[in-house]
Amino acid sequence: MITKVFNMVVNYHFSVLKRRRRRIMNQKRVHTPEGVRDIYGLECKKRLRLKDKLNHVFALYGYENIITPTFEFFDIFNSEKGTVSSKEMYKFFDREGNTLVLRPDITPSVARCVAKYYDSEERNLRFAYTGNVFLNNSSYQLKLKETCQMGAELINDPSSHGDGEIIAMALDCCLNAGLKDFRLTIGQVEYFQGLVECIEDEDVKEQLRELIINKNFFGLIEFVESLDIPQAVKDVFVQFNELNGDVDILDKADALVSNETSKRAIRKLRKVYRMLKVYGLEQYISFDLGMLSRHNYYTGVIFKAYTYGTGDAVLKGGRYDNLIEQFGKKAPSIGFAIVLDSLMMALERQKIQMEADFTDMLIVYEEEAMEAAIPAAVGYRKEGKTVILEKKDRNLEDYMTMSSDHRIGCVLYYETGDTVRDLTKGQ
């Protein structure tokens, strides 16, 4: 008897544990992994509408859509290409043992594609893209690991005219999205490159670069003072955090340097500014000679667009004249990427009304009105109207709430084959 009771107790606790384990597993299944999220409902509608508005700008400038694979060979994004570090990539293997990565950046994929399919093309090529990128950020950074980027690339154009076109289009994207209070800041990689020409140690150059990228100007000054370099160069680095502002800052940056590389960078920035004045967009522009990027493939003009309501730039871009050559084609290029998630966040926090597509009509019908309601829905759809068709199984008030929540234009209630009520108008 004791054994029987003992077994019953054991079996009971075992079944409780099984149920608890099953409950925990079910809970895990409803959650997404860290750093990714679902996008649904009204947010999804707004997001799709925003994509349409940005694609419209790309089309106005004559940029054709391009789609590249979500994952590529690791070599497309390795350190020699100047993309993100290996530890920030999602890596896996195919059946042949090749190392593959989920793309952390779309520009190198476009560069590979251009080198392969447009090898002999010398005319200017214009591409626009939309796609998700993946960065294995540290959890403490509280950033999404999967984000959506929309961007554009101008291939084969080495001129300041190309710089001006891309930056003008980037500004038009910000304006068309609905931003009013924002600033696009422009820098020039060659200004920094000219300053470090006197330094032979590549590790020292990289340390200087990291300090500037991180805006650690106190650390920069301390490190520079320890280097055996000309005092004139040290003086420039000491003032690096002050080399930002409107177009007049270019005069100060020019006066501080004597090397040709840095002076050429200033001349290029002046040309870009003149072009943006012609576009009528100069009021949105500022300059920062202390701007550098973690993407080492940038060779000239670089730029970022900032607005309030987000902790990072909503748009980033620059010139990369040597990247495509690493894939086999010499093609100077420039482009930018919009971080759609950051742009959406900024618009939301600034309470800027974001458009979402309407559903034209909701048709609710009683069983006896089916033969009238369905042909009516078919007819409206042939006219190009969007129609949700539902057999009535709840209160009419619930359908009115549904129409409000899901941006539905009107609600028609087919009570009988001969009786149709427009609930939106109270008829």
Give pLDDT tens digits for 247-264: 999 999 999 999 999 999
At 26-43, the pLDDT tens digits run: 555 667 888 899 998 888
- Is the pLDDT at 50 greater than 70? The verdict is yes
**What pLDDT, on a 0 to 100 scale, did the predictor assign at position 6?**
44
pLDDT in tens, 377-419: 999 999 999 999 999 999 999 999 988 888 899 999 999 878 8
pLDDT (tens digit, 9 = 90+) per residue, 223-243?
988 988 889 989 898 888 899
- Average pLDDT value over all residues in the chain: 89
Whether 219 and 288 share a structural domain: yes
Q: How far apart are CA 427 and CA 424, in angstroms?
A: 8
CA gap 139, 34 in Å, rounded: 8
- Please tell me the total count of domains within the chain: 3
pLDDT score at 4: 53
Residue 222 falls within a domain, yes or no?
Answer: yes
Going through 352-404 in order, the beta strands assigned E by DSSP cover 359-365, 387-391
Residues 112 and 157 in one domain: yes
In a domain? residue 36: no
Residues 93 and 146 in one domain: yes
pLDDT at 17 over 80: no
**Entry pTM:** 0.85
Q: What is the CATH number of the domain that holds 139?
A: 3.30.930.10
Which residues face 301 on adjacent strands? 188
In contact, 166 and 61? CB cutoff 8 Å: no
Whether residue 274 lies inside any domain: the answer is yes
Same domain, 295 and 404: no
Mean pLDDT in residue range 7-17: 52
Judge if 138 and 241 occupy the same domain: yes
**Could you say which of 349, 382, 399 is where a domain stops?**
349
Instruction: Please give the pLDDT value at position 7.
Output: 53
Question: In terms of residue numbers, what domain contains 182?
Answer: 41-349
Please indicate, yes or no, whether residues 174 and 320 belong to a single structural domain of this protein: yes
* Contacts with 361 (C-beta within 8 Å, 6 or more apart), sequence order: 380, 385, 386, 387, 388, 408, 409, 410, 411, 412
pLDDT at 194 over 60: yes
Residue 366 binned pLDDT confidence (cut-offs 50, 70, 90): very high
**Are 20 and 122 in the same domain?**
no
Out of 20-34, 129-143, 200-214, 352-366, pick the least confident. 20-34
Residue 250 lies in a domain: yes
Q: Are 151 and 335 in contact (CB under 8 A)?
A: yes
Please count the CA atoms within 13 angstroms of the CA of 397 that sit on its side-chain side: 0
In this prediction, residue 319 carries a pLDDT of: 96
243 with 372, same domain: the answer is no
Tell me the mean pLDDT in the region 305-324: 92
Domain end, chosen from 331, 349, 367, is at: 349
Mean pLDDT of 259-279: 96
The CATH number linked to 389 is 3.40.50.12590
Of all residues in the chain, the percent with pLDDT exceeding 70 is: 91
Is pLDDT of 137 > 90? no
In this prediction, residue 200 has a pLDDT band, given cuts at 50, 70 and 90, of confident
**Is the pLDDT reported for residue 14 higher than 60?**
no
Amino acid 311: pLDDT:
77
Task: Indicate whether 354 belongs to any domain.
Answer: no
Q: Are residues 269 and 249 in the same domain?
A: yes
Asked if residue 58 belongs to a domain, the reply is yes
23 and 55 inside one domain: no
Q: Judge residue 334's burial from the number of C-beta atoms within 10 Å of its C-beta, 0-12 exposed, 13-18 middle, 19 or more buried.
A: buried
Amino acid at site 337? A
In the structure, what pLDDT confidence band is assigned to residue 213 with cuts at 50, 70 and 90?
confident
Assess whether 236 and 365 both reside in one domain. Answer: no
Q: Give the domain-ending residue among 322, 349, 376.
A: 349
Residue 427 domain-assigned (yes or no): no
Same domain, 217 and 68: yes
Q: What is the pLDDT of residue 32?
A: 83
What percentage of the chain reaches a pLDDT higher than 90?
66
